[in-house]
Homo-oligomer: A and B are copies of this chain.
Amino acid sequence: MGNTPPVGRKVTLSDIAAGCDVSRATVSLVLRGSPLVNKHTRARVEEELRRQGYVYNRAAANLRRRTSSSIALVLNDLANPFFAEFAAGVDEILGNTGFVTLLGSTSESTERELAVLGSLMEHGPAGIILSPAEGGDAEQILAAVGTQTPLLLFNREVGGDITACDHWDRLFLDNQHGARLATEHLIAKGHRRIAFYGGHLGSSSCRQRRAGYVEAMQAAGLTVETRWMVECIPNRLDAVAQSEQLFTETTAPTAAVCYNDAVALGLMLGLHQRGLQPGRDFALTGFDDIAEAAVSAPPLTTLAVTPRARGRQAAELILQRLQEPSASPRQTIVPVQLLVRASSCAPHAA
């Protein structure tokens, strides 16, 4: 009874139509649950769909309808748990909405970022969520993505002539306020010689966190020593390597606001190597609240940014943008929360 499904080739809507003797158009209506089609034909068609194991070809449909059902997610560092959580959040929402996530990881390389964006654009995503690589150029990115596809910039500002991109939506953490909170917390603990440790000036988040630190220091009437503002690659390894820079002079800082948790954990190791015990001889704070922060020795005072929730938020923002393509661009700054743990002790010996 009935034809057999085609071999080797995928089952198409025409196969179904032929299989139960109706037109392609009718099958298409059934697939989309149109109320136009008669109950009995619908049943017959649905049976045939099952029988032949039909799978919908969304690419073909998208082509005809001039629509898209994918969102590109381009991240500067997927391996970083912060972004991995973020990606999980994005995918969670997109999956629920019938969109599919096109992933691109740039490993912090701007050339690769452009290549990835170019490649993803060829798949015609409905929108783009981009956490840019450091040192990227706004105009180049704009050239890669065009003006038709809405883009949500996450986490970092991008370099170059930004005015050309003022129609992009933005989702940023309140870096400045977060760093200010951390600094104020250390000041309240009694510290006066406080460093800002780690990060690259190339990234906007680092500049913003430094600004928050400076703000708090000045508000408290404390002097900001430029030799206590140390740059390093924001990972554990370089953070260990550069840590000695804090102790070159006779008067060393007693505390440090660190660019992020990875840097803070690296600094802890560096302190140990100098015979200092973090959380007793030296106070420090991080940023991100990665899983490790709660269980390091000592547990790390840091700023919670709930990356998974940020991912969900980013997905929702881009979906909203698809609803209203011409609404004015939106910049969202999400607050961060100070989590006090044992690493931010009072100064050891006065």
Contacts and interface: CB of A to CB of B under 8 A. Distances in A.
A291 B105 contact: no
A122 B55 contact: yes
A79 interface: yes
A308 B107 CA distance: 12
Contacts of A73: 103
B57 A122 contact: yes
A123 B59 contact: yes
Interface string A52-73: 0101111110110000011001
Interface in A58-93: 58-60, 62-63, 69-70, 73, 77-81, 83-85, 87-88, 91-92
A173 interface: no
21 contacts: A10-B124, A55-B122, A55-B146, A58-B123, A78-B88, A79-B308, A81-B84, A84-B84, A87-B105, A88-B107, A91-B105, A92-B105, A95-B104, A100-B103, A101-B102, A101-B104, A269-B295, A292-B292, A295-B296, A296-B297, A297-B297
Interface of A: 10, 53, 55-60, 62-63, 69-70, 73, 77-81, 83-85, 87-88, 91-92, 95, 98, 100-105, 107, 112, 115-116, 119-124, 146, 148, 236, 265, 269, 291-292, 295-297, 308
